[in-house]
Amino acid sequence: MESSPPLRRLLALAFALFALALSATTARAQRVASYDFSTQSPKDRVRQPKPFPPGIQLGGRCGGILGNPPLRVSLLSLDKTEYAVGDDVIFTIAITNTGSAPQRAPVAFNLADMEPPDASQNYNYQPMEIWLHLVKPSDSPGIQFFSTLALTLYGSDDRPDTQFELRKGEWIEIRGRTKLVNTSASQKRYFADSEVYSSIRNVTEKISDMAAGVFSWRGDDVHFEGRTQYEYVGCHGYEMSGGGGSGLHLDLLPATPANSKPLESTP
């Protein structure tokens, strides 16, 4: 569901303030593992879900978002300080358990690897999306921001190898690569409901000194039914985290013919 422009501006401002508030927490944590997905490309699933018949939609969304979950994400680094729309971005993030109880973080890069060999077998997974969020405060009404889906990690309680258990104060480092595009204007599938709509519809000239951060979205429970090849999406309670107070800034440039087609407008 798309939020109204005033709500989007408030969400962007809240994200920036939340990021600063969490910087001290991340600094005190202990790294226990690292993953590098920056040289990999996601593999397509062998069995793509069948579309439901017209007029039928099974599964559903639940209401409410926990905005201060124990499992939090922060941006550690970017490979450059200037990007054109359509450029590749190499980033490093941290996923930290800031709660008191152990938390399981998804660490599977490819959903294809979670498909069972038996095509008729059911399987379940829980995605965690990491979004790169660029914010440019403005003297004029509103705040400019640009969001792109940076990485989706997958985990399943049926596959212990797809999750990493973090105790209080522990964090994992993940390096990845994404293309800097307006995800909400593309046909790319995503699960998140908040922070995904870019107010910047088209980059026609350089936008300097944009604050860079990340946020995560998780809580969807996805069930793939082997017999019918349908996929059902439910939830166990949505969580949205962001922050780390990265202090990273970058310049955003218009797309060039070499790296991408012109940016589409946000619906």
Q: Are 164 and 107 in contact (CB under 8 A)?
A: yes
Locate tokens 């910047």: which residue?
200
Task: Report the pLDDT value the prediction gives residue 127, as an integer from 0 to 100.
Answer: 96
Could you tell me the end-to-end alpha-carbon distance of the chain, in angstroms, rounded to an integer? Answer: 11
Parallel/antiparallel/unpaired status of strands 170-179 and 88-97: antiparallel
The residue ranges of every structural domain in the chain are: 5-37+67-253
Question: Looking at the predicted structure, is the pLDDT value of residue 120 above 60?
Answer: yes
Question: Looking at the predicted structure, is the pLDDT value of residue 210 above 80?
Answer: yes
Give dist(CA 32, CA 41) in Å, integer: 25
Q: Are 149 and 189 in contact (CB under 8 A)?
A: no
User: What mean pLDDT comes out for the span 134-140?
Assistant: 80
Q: Which residues contact 105 (CB under 8 A, 6 or more apart)?
A: 71, 95, 97, 128, 153, 155, 163, 164, 165, 166, 172
Confidence of residue 173 (pLDDT cuts 50, 70, 90): very high
The string of pLDDT tens digits covering residues 23-37 is: 444 445 699 999 999
Among 54-58, 98-102, 172-176, 179-183, name the one with the lowest average pLDDT.
Answer: 54-58
Question: In terms of pTM, does the model score above 0.85?
Answer: no
